[in-house]
Structure 1
Amino acid sequence: MPTLAERFAAAYDQVQVAVEKAERVPNSVKLLAVSKTKPIADIEAVAALGQTDFGENYAQEAVEKAQKLAHLGLQWHFIGPIQSNKTRPLAEHMDWLHTVERDKIARRLSEQRPAELKPLQVCIQVNISAEPQKSGAMPADVKDLAALIQTLPNIELRGLMAIVENTADEAKLAQQFTAMQTLFDQLKTRYDNVDTLSMGMSQDLQHAINHGSTMVRIGTAIFGARQPRQSN
């Protein structure tokens, strides 16, 4: 069975190969190591290999890990659904939030971000597949939400995030990835600080990178199967 170091190296190489196949600039796509439910020791081990960006899905777990590993200077990305009653700890301890989907959450994050910290870097989550069970703003609402975020003092809009439909239909996947790339390109023309398109996981990584993704989320392929967790 491959070691953690071997799995991380393989995931990193997978991203670089996908970038090369897409004829993108080398190192233009960042690997976000999704460490949800994984122990501190595993994160420390991957950080020791040079990884600095880690993604978490559950607010309490994310904050606890950020606090315990503050000495490592890591970048913590929250990539799970944001509950209104969990915005304060996230605003206080995360570096990035990828899942802003409505005005209320954006305003609360800005109000609750400590003044002594750098602005919280945020992405708007887009429900590009229009699945009713999935979080995210509708594509038609992205422009107005982005405009609001730009007015808020303690958060900074960096781009868009999406989780495409879980389907084997290649045409449908291509349609959704293309739609996200178009939305991202439109946003970049309006705002100089927009540079991040967070989409793609192990199973659809090549598609995502072909369509302009700048950050891909990889968890199980690095850390192994998820562990049971207690609810926040």
Structure 2
Amino acid sequence: MTDLADADDPLDAVANLEALRAAIAQRASDCDRAPDAIKLVAVSKTYSADEVWPTIAVGGQTVFGENRVQEAIPKWRDLRARAAALGKTIELHLIGPLQSNKAREAVEHFDVIETVDREKIAAALAHEIQRTGKHPRLYVEVNTGAEPQKAGVLPQDADAFLALCRDAYGLTIDGLMAIPPAGEQASPHFALLGVIAKRNGLKELSMGMSADWPLAVQLGATAVRVGSAIFGARAHSKS
């Protein structure tokens, strides 16, 4: 993978972004995949609007991921308006855990919600989708490592949960998302996610982050979520 610099200067993030795009395209080609089959979700959580803006205005990035609903809303209200003035349309992904009391704001402000992981969330999203008429694309998060501290439906429960989302709540599920356990080889987790997706007729796989996206591309990711390799290491109050 191409070495990426720390983004101390906001314009460094643009250079990192361009290098990352080239690396993803090369990896896709090496794996006999079309480069445009892999979407780069730039993880902008904890970074300010001013830090993110150069990647939109100069880098042309339009797909971003945020962890917290309340943090994202004011930031992206500003950034969407600025992007629209340049003729750009932002696609915003929620990639952090969703609380049911934030379902209304999530449906209203996000284009993709990647962390549907329990019945209470499915019910809340179904209610808000019906109320607002908005239809964000939905992914089910799978806890492939069965980590007790981590969100996500267990692999053995994924088929039943997908059926519940579709049949009981009328939700359209477009794909799956996973975060492999830290310190473990990611490949078995990515492969497992692909198996679950295939048997449930799902085409979208959001998997792979700054450290392991090349493996994710090899194993069928349609979206990779990368933050620090673009914006630099998070510091001070950032997490």
- Partners in 2 of 1:8 and 1:157 — Cα distance? 29
1:156 to 2:172 alignment: yes
Choose from 72, 79, 86 the match for 1:69: 79
Distance 1:100 1:228, change over 3 A: farther
Q: Tell me which amino acid in the other structure corresponds to 1:26.
A: P
Q: Secondary structure at the match of 2:64?
A: strand
Contact 2:107 2:135 (C-alpha < 8 Å) held by counterparts: no
Deviation track 1:45-92 (CA, whole Å, cap 9, x = no partner) reads 111222111000112111222322232320110000112222221121
1:37 Cα offset (Å): 0.9
Matched residue type, 1:184? A
Q: How many residue pairs end up in the alignment? A: 222
The one of 3, 27, 33 aligned to 1:18:
27
Alignment TM-score, normalising by the size of structure 1: 0.87
SS state at 1:10 partner: helix
| Structure 1 partner of 2:207 | 199
Q: Structure 1: state its 5+ residue gaps.
A: 189-193
Shift in Å, 1:144: 2.1
- Quick check: 1:66–1:94 contact (8 Å CA) kept in 2? no
The answer on whether the counterparts of 2:115 and 2:152 sit within 8 Å (CA) in structure 1 is yes
CA contact (8 A) 1:37 1:227 kept: no
- Give 1:1-232 correspondences, 5 Å limit: 3-48=12-57, 49-71=59-81, 72=83, 73-113=89-129, 115=131, 117-151=133-167, 152-153=169-170, 155-167=171-183, 169-170=184-185, 173-188=186-201, 194-229=202-237
1:136 CA displacement: 0.4
Q: Give CA deviations for 1:164-216 in whole Å, capped at 9, x if unaligned.
A: 1222x54xx3322211111111122xxxxx32100001211111111111100
1:91–1:114 Cα contact (<8 Å) kept: no
TM-score (norm 2): 0.85
Cα pair distance change 1:200/1:228, threshold 3 Å: same
Contact 1:160 1:197 in 2 (8 A): yes
- For residues 135-162 of structure 1, the C-alpha deviation after alignment (integer angstroms, 9 at most, x for no partner) is 1001122112222322445x53110000
Summarize the Cα distance change of 1:25–1:96 in structure 2 as closer, same or farther, 3 Å threshold.
Answer: same
Percentage identity across paired residues of the two chains = 36
Task: Tell me how far apart the structure 2 counterparts of residues 116 and 86 of structure 1 sit (CA, whole Å).
Answer: 14
Give 1:115 deviation, angstroms.
Answer: 5.0
What residue ranges of structure 2 are gaps of 5+ in the alignment? Answer: 84-88
- Cα 1:114–1:46 shift into 2, 3 Å: farther
Secondary structure, aligned partner of 2:23: helix
